[in-house]
Chain A
Amino acid sequence: MSAGSLPSRSSLLLALLVCPAAQADDLFVDSEALPQVLTATRLKQTPAEVPGSMTVLDNELINASGARDISELLRLVPGMMVGNISGNQAAVNYHGTNASEARRMQVLIDGRSVYRAGLATVDWSDIPVAIEDIERVEVFRGPNTVSYGANALMAVVNIITRHPADSHGTRLKYTRGQRGINDFYASQGSSWNGGDLRLSLSGQEDDGFDSDRSGADYRDSRRLNRLSLAVSHTLSDDQSLDWQINAKDGTNQRPYTYQPVFSGITAAGNNSDVVAKDYAGSVRWNLDINPQHSLYVQGSAQHWDRQQTWRACDAEVSFSPELTQLWQLNPNYTERLARNITRFTGPGAAPGTPQEMALANQVLDQWRNGASRTLCGDIDQSARESRYDLELQDTLSLSDSLRLVSGLNYRYDRADSETYFNGTLDDTTWRAFGQLEWRATEHWLLQGGAMFEDTRLVGNSLTPRFAVNYLINPRHSLRAVYSEAIRSPDMFENNVNWSYQVSNLRPSAYGQSSARYFVKTRGPGDLDQEHMRSRELGYNGYFAEIGLALDVKLFYDEITGMISEPLRNNQYIASNANNSRFRGTETQLDWRVSRADRLRFTYAFVDAEASNPLDQQFTSRNSGSAGWLRDWGHGWNSALFYYGDNALNGYRFERVDTRIAKRIPLGKAQLQLAGVLQQRLDHEPNTFVDNNYDERRVMYFSAELEF
């Protein structure tokens, strides 16, 4: 049968139609009408067939890690750089780039992207999913915009929650520990004829880091509550409907970081905390047209609400219309004047154009005449972002050896912020994608695809992807992958219109109780997409006899047209002028040594070179993890993990985590008691200089009841 030709397809269909009828004549072969469940379109690729490198964090590993955050789990992925901006802001990037801006990785929850629509970040701590609801995390290590859309530039983290049908019963869990750790989780799963649901409620609390660089208390604790409802309906033999609702509400503390521009100002606010609310809903309709053809339509709506207002103090002259005008003419000149204003009060304005000097002298006059007095007012840096997404994906198994996945996607993004966008900004994106998987022979598997994307604010692009897997046998393969990927600049990078309207001014500024601060920053509006070219050679193997799974890869990735300027409000000049490249090797090994023991090991060597030194910061040249899980019998389990980065943003990170758990049957119910101990092995801050703990050790305990 020649693969792919139309006659072969029709003969295959014919054979499928005829076969059961022929067997129906046999009185002894069960002719019970059973729908085909594991159809060609439902079956997944084996690890050896995946066109790239993949790490799967299964449920056992997630539990054993004792992790309270999704970001912490990702330490188990080779090449993943996991750090912290503060106690409630994780920074995660694959291979590296900027430490404070991790925006080149796609993060999905059950297929829905949680990458914020307007502000180019993933708020790991605010993702409205409890770790207890996660079935597994699949990390595709490498660019894959063809399958996951733009932003899947360096890697894709796919978080898959437990299917409602797999989460029946009641679970109650309570965790308490040092550093203010105080978490709870409660879920109820049940089913009826043709449907299943899971409702879960959870909460998380901790104090974050203990002290900043000066030894003062660091304001970065968090408190949050989540609700999640997942429902699955079987509509008929060939149709099902899944829907989810997720909500999260909480407070993230932020230290007060505003530094007055003008000298002599001593008054200050005390925090810039954020109230963060996330809402998401999605519906997915699955249709199996026949065992060789299926499709789904998924629609989702998400809303991110970040309310951040704080009181800031500066000199009245900050609101001077003349100073604002001067900033628009020459920000550098203005900043020099503002920061050193007392030096110019005597001699007058510094040399510049006559217009600049005239404005500067007017500002100096205002300063001398009393505008040097302190004003305090409310700054509102809130942002509300929404995303609506509709996707159609079709999987067609053309023959035993040929499978086509294709689809269309429409997305509408909207961001609303007085501070960042001076109102509302929106964008629409259309995407079409297709990927073909061709098993040329028993040994050769060829996969290729492309994605076309058109974004209203940025323009269009086409990205291809090719992979060849040579299957030595079904469990061992060699692969070569070439892929291109793009990342569209987000609204913030490209279209920011950043200025502060300060309200409740006391005393009033130039007679106004609400006025605009003089600094104003605009995005360039004409940024192009970042472009990545990635090359990979790899080996994946499973030695079934000894239970050992191994993956090794060599990679060479380049990003060009890179937007790497930090997002700051003084003189933000974004451009596509930068580039970087990453090369190195990664290994992961998962070995079930015996029924009781499992060993896991990951290692990554990454060599980064970037035109902007900031983009080299978040790469640890050597990083990895090692783990040992053991089932001691009689309900006792233990896990021991080591995590290490030789230098992440310049700081070493080494930690050993231990978890010991005991299951106690209580009639039909089961109680699990667990204790986690994390011990830092180094004395350095965590990623940034302000992230310090008083003790290098933390302990927390949990009790979980299942019935």
Chain B
Amino acid sequence: MRYGRSRKTPTLSHWLAGVFLFVSAWLHGVAVQAADILLTGAEDSPGVQAFVQALSELRPTDSVRFQPLASLPAPGKLPASLRLVLLDLPSLDWRLQEPQGPATLVLRISRLQARQRLGSSQPARLSLLWSDPPLSRQLQLIRQILPQARRVGVLFGEHSEFLLKELNLAAEPLGLHVFSQRWDNIHDSRPLQAVLKNSDVLLGLDDPDLYSPKTAKNLLLSSYSRQTALVGPNIAFVRAGSLASTYSDQHDWLSLLDQLLDQPPASWPRALYPARFKVSSNAQVARSLGIEPPDDVSVASLLAEGERRP
């Protein structure tokens, strides 16, 4: 177990908790079979360390460790009892070298990235945990904060086109109409103009070809000048001027991992969106669009309740 050296100095209570956990783990270790959890990624970072640390605190009976990708053998050479957690795309590429290997949870991967790497195939022993906000949840968010919006504009590209079918299916029962528009060349703003002209709100797909630092200014200024809100695609965009988005943070992911690691790998789902999430909105933008700034916590709990009782 490694501690973040630069950022977080453990306080006395952390130390005491650590000692307590160690002692209790040692006492239980005799009776209970501890799981061996290996997290890996191409790069180590304070963020990775903080996550590994938090997971190990959550699962005191298991052995939780991080090992950089470069130091790992081929996946097939790892013990089958190991539970592997992948933290980035290079580690996924490494894992995909061989179909054999331990049961694997893939984190920090979006639907789009998976599609680009895997096509529509679903490799065995892999459980994909999506990082992009689910479309149905984003649509519900629109219903919640912009109840008058009916026409949802969506820009899509070559890589995100496959999401449209699902988006339309999710929109229909909500009484929303999706106006989709292909945007292949980000230097040509006509598709953006067309979509803004035909929609009450713009929903951003997590497609880095379309939603990137290069396009952010044009997207946000054009939609704002037409008094059309952008919802999504991620929290960075909300800070830049998007109205709101749902997202799951480390806390939410830890709780999901904890849940999954309690189960035998055979019962892990092949793909899953985290059930726990938060809402982030930009109050200044809301106010300027004449919308009561949403209460993020209560909107999130309303949405969550809706998901529990569909």
Residues of A bordering B, CB below 8 Å: 20, 24-40, 42-48, 135, 163, 165-166, 168-169, 191-193, 196, 234, 400, 473-475, 542, 544-545, 547, 595
Contact = CB atoms under 8 A, between A and B. Distances in A.
B241 interface: yes
Contact of A36 (B7, B224, B241, B252): B241
Highest count of chain A CB atoms <10 Å: which of B87, B190, B247: B190
A43 B131 contact: no
A233 B284 CA distance: 27
Given A28-B250, A28-B253, A165 B131 contact: no
B189 A25 contact: no
A28 B213 contact: no
A568 B240 CA distance: 58
A166 B290 contact: no
Contacts of A36: 239-241
Contact of B291 (A25, A39, A474, A545): A474
Contacts of A35: 213, 216-217, 240
A531 B108 CA distance: 66
Contacts, number: 126
B248 interface: yes
A165 B151 contact: no
Contacts of A40: 284
Nearest to A234: B217
B108 A166 contact: no
Nearest to A60: B197
Contacts of B267: none
Contact of A30 (B50, B234, B250, B284): B234
Given A24-B47, A475-B290, A595-B151, A38 B284 contact: yes
B171 to A, nearest CB: 15
A38 B220 contact: yes
Contacts of B291: 474
13 contacts: A25-B50, A26-B250, A28-B107, A29-B235, A36-B241, A38-B282, A42-B224, A45-B288, A46-B289, A165-B189, A168-B190, A473-B292, A542-B290
B189 A43 contact: no
Contacts of B237: 34
B148 A547 contact: yes
Interface residues of B, number: 50
Contacts of A234: 217
Contact of A34 (B48, B239, B288, B290): B239
Contacts of A135: 225
Contact of A44 (B7, B190, B218, B288): B288
A37 B249 contact: no
A27 B51 contact: yes
A29 B247 contact: yes
A36 B213 CA distance: 10
Given A25-B7, A27-B87, A43-B224, 14 more contacts: A28-B247, A28-B248, A30-B234, A30-B236, A34-B237, A34-B239, A36-B240, A37-B221, A38-B282, A45-B288, A46-B287, A47-B290, A196-B189, A474-B292
B291 to A, nearest CB: 7
Contact of B249 (A26, A163, A400): A26
Given A38-B285, A168-B190, A27 B250 contact: yes
A169 B190 contact: yes
Contacts of A547: 148
Given A38-B224, A46-B288, A28 B131 contact: yes
Contacts of B239: 20, 34, 36
Highest count of chain A CB atoms <10 Å: which of B87, B107, B236, B292: B236
B165 interface: no
A544 B145 CA distance: 12
A37 B217 contact: yes
A46 B189 contact: no
Nearest to B252: A28
A261 B183 CA distance: 71
Interface in B9-49: 46-48
Contacts of B147: 544-545
Contacts of A45: 288
Given A25-B50, A40-B284, A191-B188, A34 B250 contact: no
A570 B248 CA distance: 80
Contacts of A34: 213, 216, 236-237, 239-240
A363 B218 CA distance: 74
A240 to B, nearest CB: 9
B250 A43 contact: no
Contacts of B222: 163, 165-166
Contacts of A400: 284
Closest 6 CB pairs of A and B: A38-B241, A43-B288, A46-B290, A37-B220, A27-B47, A30-B236
A48 B217 contact: no
Contacts of A24: 47
Nearest to A544: B148
B308 interface: no
Contacts of B309: none
Interface in B114-138: 131
Contacts of B221: 37-38, 42, 163, 165
Contacts of B216: 34-35, 37
B249 A474 contact: no
A44 B290 CA distance: 10
Interface string B281-300: 01011011111100000000
Contacts of B7: 25
B150 interface: yes
Contact of B290 (A38, A165, A474): A474
A671 to B, nearest CB: 16
Contacts of A192: 187
Contacts of A39: 241
B63 interface: no
Contacts of A595: 150-151
